[in-house]
Amino acid sequence: MPLNIRLLGQQPYLPVWQAMQDFTATRDEATTDELWVVQHDSVFTQGQAGKAEHLLNPGDIPVVKVDRGGQVTWHGPGQLVIYLLLDVRRINYGVRHLVNLIEDSLIEYLASLGVSAEARPDAPGVYLKEGSAAGAKIAALGLKIRRGCSFHGLSFNVSCDLSPFQRINPCGYAGMPVARLIDLVPTSSFQQAQDALLAILIRRLGHTNITYLHGQESV
């Protein structure tokens, strides 16, 4: 089954979100699945169930109310975001199956670097298991299923500034600590994290015939 990997670079959030919605609304049973890989300009996004009280002090960072699940989170440079635009009916995936696949892919990648992490049944995402940062969230996820197809996806803190998380209750949890990869594995790089995590996701999804695309041409 073919898969397009679309490398978007750094982009503002709104146009990419709108493009995801348009892609999902107009795709049909023959449309090739895609993973979109991006870093966003600094932004808070608030999910459909998001509560205003979790936005403590957004200040000059814009807030966008979006159509994914979950509460409020932050995106910005140095954070790896991968959106999974998949026909989940065609690949016969339920939502929980896809959530588990994303979490397990992140856990596998971290384990390859000697970092122990886990998922939690009550709070989607990936959390550190050991050391001084045990319990800290290093990756968040939120999905939307429409017309049998998924969009939105995961955000993984690689080398980003963590201070914006102090302006919110991350994912709706007051005082939740957050972590980033560069503090755990100083030799890691953004490109290495991107390439390795993509390879794991592709393998676990089972797609073959991978095509890499740059930018949003032909979306």
Residues designated catalytic: 171
Which residue in this structure is represented by tokens 């390859």? 112
Contact by Cβ (8 Å): 197, 153: no
Closest to 70 measured CA to CA, from 45, 42, 39, 93: 45
Please state whether beta strands 123-128 and 137-146 pair in parallel, antiparallel, or not at all (unpaired).
antiparallel
Q: How far is CA 143 from CA 88, 102, 121, 128, in A?
A: 12, 11, 16, 22
CB atoms within 10 A of CB 151: 24
- Rounded to whole angstroms, the Cα distance separating 25 from 155 reads 23
Helix axes 190-205, 95-112, angle to 10 degrees: 140
Is 197 within 8 Å of 105 (Cβ atoms)?
A: yes
Pick out the residues of the known binding site for substrate. 68-75, 140-142, 153-155
